[in-house]
């Protein structure tokens, strides 16, 4: 297992100035003391020094804010520089940059079966960042692809543990218990991405719907459930309106109704007020008692 360890890089600006000064000085020596004085050994030595100084400049590198550089020497991991700035390290070191910024992506819309075997479509947004550069680079092949694949896997596993809608009291559902579902998804992601040096900051459901082949039937079921849940209020309101109508008719002496016609009026009003569809009135053009 690879774990990130710090690397003590040198100040790059100081090394750069030193190398530039060495190149200028060696260039002067090569021209003035070598070529002009016909001193071949001095000229060759100065030239070699210039080449070495130019080669050492390959060890200079920049670390940007929220970035890390992992240093590898001939296949051996030597450490990571996290502090932003201008640095110098062994020019033979390979410097691999990795972003430490917070990232987010949305998974594709997945078609899975919920806890009641109903086909649903679900997608999630995952917010994450790299916290261990060594694990992200050396423990998995492509950490961004790894995060994407494992996120879809965790989302599938989480979706199968819950029903789309709760049908019993106390049952957890994807549509009503979003906070609990998101927490379970985040927990599953943390377990899967632990070896990749990635921290999951947040995971949220971004899309949730029944699959098209059952969407119409499930919509009718939801509407029926809503109507059944609203029945007590509807009946209570209808009874109150009927009672008010009878009291107003009696108080203002508009019409006198016997018990049989009161019952018929109550029945008609309840049908009108409690019906799911608009009622079609029938106008009686004859006598009230025929």
pLDDT category, 78, cuts 50, 70, 90? very high
- Taking 80 as the threshold, does the pLDDT of residue 274 lie above it? no
The whole-chain average pLDDT of the chain stands at 81
Most confident range, picked from 131-140, 212-221, 232-241: 131-140
pLDDT tens, 154-193?
999 998 888 887 766 677 888 888 888 899 999 999 988 8
Q: What is d(CA 196, CA 150) in angstroms, rounded to the nearest whole number?
A: 11
Higher pLDDT, 249 or 286: 249
Question: Which ranges in 9-142 belong to alpha helices (H)?
Answer: 12-28, 40-56, 133-138
pTM given for the model = 0.68
Which pLDDT score is estimated for 71? 94
pLDDT tens, 54-63?
999 999 999 9
Full set of structural domains in the chain with CATH: 10-98 (no CATH), 103-210 (3.30.479.30), 222-274 (no CATH)
- The arithmetic mean of pLDDT across residues 86-108, rounded, is 92
Q: What is d(CA 185, CA 36) in angstroms, rounded to the nearest whole number?
A: 76
- Taking 70 as the threshold, does the pLDDT of residue 276 lie above it? no
pLDDT category, 249, cuts 50, 70, 90? low
Which pLDDT score is estimated for 69? 94
Backbone angles phi, psi at 185, to 5 degrees: -65, -45
Higher pLDDT, 173 or 249: 173
């Amino acid at each position: 297992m690879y774990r990130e360890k710090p690397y003590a890089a040198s100040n790059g600006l100081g090394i750069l100035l030193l190398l530039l000064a060495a190149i200028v000085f060696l260039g002067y020596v090569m021209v003035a003391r070598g070529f002009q004085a016909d001193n071949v050994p001095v000229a060759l030595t100065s030239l070699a020094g210039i080449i070495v100084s130019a080669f050492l400049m390959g060890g200079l590198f920049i670390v940007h804010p929220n970035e890390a550089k992992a240093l590898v020497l001939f296949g051996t991991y030597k450490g990571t520089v996290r502090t932003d700035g201008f640095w110098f390290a062994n020019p033979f070191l390979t410097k691999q940059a990795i972003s430490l910024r917070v990232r987010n992506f949305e998974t594709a819309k997945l078609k899975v079966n919920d806890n009641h075997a109903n086909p649903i479509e679900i997608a999630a947004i995952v917010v994450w960042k790299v916290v261990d550069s060594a694990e992200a680079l050396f423990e998995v092949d492509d950490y961004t692809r790894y995060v994407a694949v494992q996120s879809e896997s965790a989302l599938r596993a989480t979706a199968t543990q819950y029903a789309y809608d709760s049908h019993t009291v106390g049952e957890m559902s994807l549509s009503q218990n979003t906070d609990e579902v998101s927490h379970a998804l985040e927990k599953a992601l943390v377990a899967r991405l632990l070896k990749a040096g990635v921290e999951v900051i947040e995971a949220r459901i971004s899309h949730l719907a029944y699959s098209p082949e059952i969407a119409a039937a499930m919509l009718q079921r939801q509407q029926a459930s809503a109507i059944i849940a609203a029945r007590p209020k509807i009946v209570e309101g209808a009874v109150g309106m009927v009672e008010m109508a009878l009291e107003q008719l009696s108080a203002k002496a508009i019409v006198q109704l016997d018990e049989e016609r009161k019952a018929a009026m109550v029945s008609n009003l309840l049908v009108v007020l409690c019906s799911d569809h608009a009622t079609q009135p029938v106008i009686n053009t004859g006598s009230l008692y025929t």
